[in-house]
Amino acid sequence: MSLLDLLFSNLINEGSLAVIDSSGTRRQYGDGSAPVAVARILDAKTERRIVLAPDYHLLESYTDGTLVMEEGSFHDFLDVCCANVAGGGFNPAHKIYQAMGRAFLFWQRWNPVHLAHKRVSHHYDLHENLFRLFLDDDLQYSCAYFHSPEDSLEQAQVAKKRHIIAKLDIKDGQSVLDIGCGWGGMALSIARAADVTVLGVTLSKEQLEVARRRAEQAGLADRVRFELLDYRKLKDKFDRIVSVGMFEHVGPPHYRQYFRKVRDLLTEDGVALVHSVGEFDYGSSNPWIQRHIFPGSYTPSLGQVLPAVEKARLWTTDVEVLRVHYAETLKAWRDRFTEHRAEAAALYDERFCRMWEAYLSACEIGFRRMSLMVFQIQLTKHRYALPFTRDYMFEREKDHQSD
């Protein structure tokens, strides 16, 4: 029995996976049920790498083209593997690899200002047209909010913004800070929902250019301003602070600094809302995602985040966990990327497209099969900053539905 055969024999108990090795030998694993996938590995070097570090090299081999699909998609292949991992199908080598990976990536959690700019640029300064191939019209690049799986991506992203705005309890005349504002969609939506001023800060030059253009086109540039600025350099006070999909880039060594800064930037009766990808386990950084997609990123557990909130002397006034919403969001993105794959290849190349397929598939399955989730934490400086009950959230959300 080869080491590759030993790996998949120990891993795959459910589903149907066939692997054709570099010698042409085909081996079948699982119980024959769905999902079904057949993969071919083209050389012995790739086989050895997969055995030593499956978390990394399954994704890397597909990106490099040394693992190709004979039947089903790479998404199907990952789905079979992760369905079994989620069911306890780890082997000793895999556990050792995970422990080594966590130790090796510890240094990448350090995210000072000069590194933050470089890491953000790696991903978010890709061409705007790439993101327009698979995102909604508002360029929301974070978890949507699905009332049901039948909702369209556009409907779910509108619902996400409405949900967050309701939690912020925004009132006319207030000032709002959007930390990690992306292409400006949330800031512009807040300005449409209330007569407020909004400052959005980003470290991406590409996003800044798009956000400023959109504010001008919407006729909101007098109330919505965007700056290329690290949040740690801000000095002003804000009535409301929102951060969507940015906290994943902060890093555990900076959590106390982050929440202390949020506290410093809030007015005395201010409210903040942090929306982030998280894990219900320990928290982790997938090494392949770290290298190719989001350098310096880290997915925290609530157990890692909340102590930093408390040490910053902030009240945690509400916590919500979104369990499957991001899986549905990523499925919609993956379907749209697949539909426009030729356009993505024209912008970049085939290897880039395989890398993007691996990224979207791995993340979707992480939310659908593994321990990934999204949390929203509402924060205040004192206990009387918000109404006594959560009823106002539902009332505000209902009000905005008619806007």
Measured CA to CA, the distance from residue 306 to residue 358 in angstroms comes to 32
How many helices and strands, by DSSP H and E, does the chain display?
Answer: 17, 13
Rounded Cα–Cα distance for residues 177 and 271 (Å): 11
What is the structure's pLDDT at 283? 66
Q: Which residue has the higher pLDDT, 97 or 395?
A: 395
* pLDDT the model gives residue 290: 86
Give 40's strand partners: 20, 68
Task: Report the topology of domain 113-401.
Answer: Rossmann fold (3.40.50)
Question: What pLDDT shows up at residue 334?
Answer: 98
Give the pLDDT confidence score for residue 96 in this predicted structure. Answer: 44
- Domain locations in the chain? 3-106, 113-401
Higher pLDDT, 78 or 125: 78
Query: Is 251 or 343 the better-scoring residue by pLDDT?
Result: 343
Half-sphere exposure of 65 (CA within 13 A, CB side): 5
Task: Give yes or no for residue 101 having a pLDDT over 80.
Answer: no
Return the CATH class of domain 3-106. Answer: alpha beta
pLDDT mean over 193-214: 96
Pairing assessment for the beta strands 372-380 and 266-279 based on DSSP bridges: antiparallel
Confidence class for position 97, pLDDT limits 50, 70, 90: very low
User: For residues 101 and 41, which has the higher predicted lDDT (pLDDT)?
Assistant: 41
Task: Say how far apart CA 243 and CA 252 lie, in whole Å.
Answer: 17
Average pLDDT in the 26-55 region? 92
Rounded distance between C-alpha atoms, residue 101 and residue 99, angstroms: 5
- What's the pLDDT band for 100 if we cut at 50, 70, 90? very low
- Nearest Cα to 178, choosing from 136, 132, 234? 234
Mean pLDDT of the chain: 90
Give the per-residue pLDDT at 33.
86
DSSP SS3 for 323: coil
- Asked if 86 and 327 count as a contact pair (C-beta separation under 8 A), the reply is no
Residue 280 has pLDDT above 60, yes or no: yes
For strands 175-179 and 238-244, give the pairing: parallel
How is 42-76 classified by DSSP, letter by letter?
A: --HHHHHHHHH-HHHHHHHHHHHTSEEEEES-HHH
Residues of the chain with pLDDT > 90: what percent? 76
Residue 178, SS3 per DSSP: strand
Q: How far is CA 330 from CA 75, 161, 324, 359, in A?
A: 12, 17, 10, 10
pLDDT of 224 above 60: yes
Per-residue confidence at 38, pLDDT binned at 50, 70, 90? very high
Lowest mean pLDDT among 158-162, 197-201, 256-260, 391-395: 391-395
Is 221's pLDDT higher than 80?
Answer: yes
* Whether residue 94 has pLDDT greater than 80: no
Regarding predicted confidence, which is higher, 113 or 173? Answer: 173
**Residues involved in catalysis:** 363
Asked if pLDDT for residue 308 goes beyond 70, the answer is yes
- pLDDT at position 122: 61
Q: What does the pLDDT average to over 76-84?
A: 92
Please report which confidence band the pLDDT of residue 345 belongs to, taking 50, 70 and 90 as the band edges. Answer: very high
CA nearest to 260, candidates 302, 311, 200? 311
pLDDT tens figures, 315-324: 999 999 999 9
Predicted confidence at residue 95, as pLDDT, reads: 52
pTM of the model: 0.91
pLDDT for 252 beyond 60: yes
* 88 has pLDDT over 60: no
Q: How many residues make up the chain in this entry? A: 403
- C-alpha torsion angle, residues 140, 366, 100, 248 (rounded to 10): 20
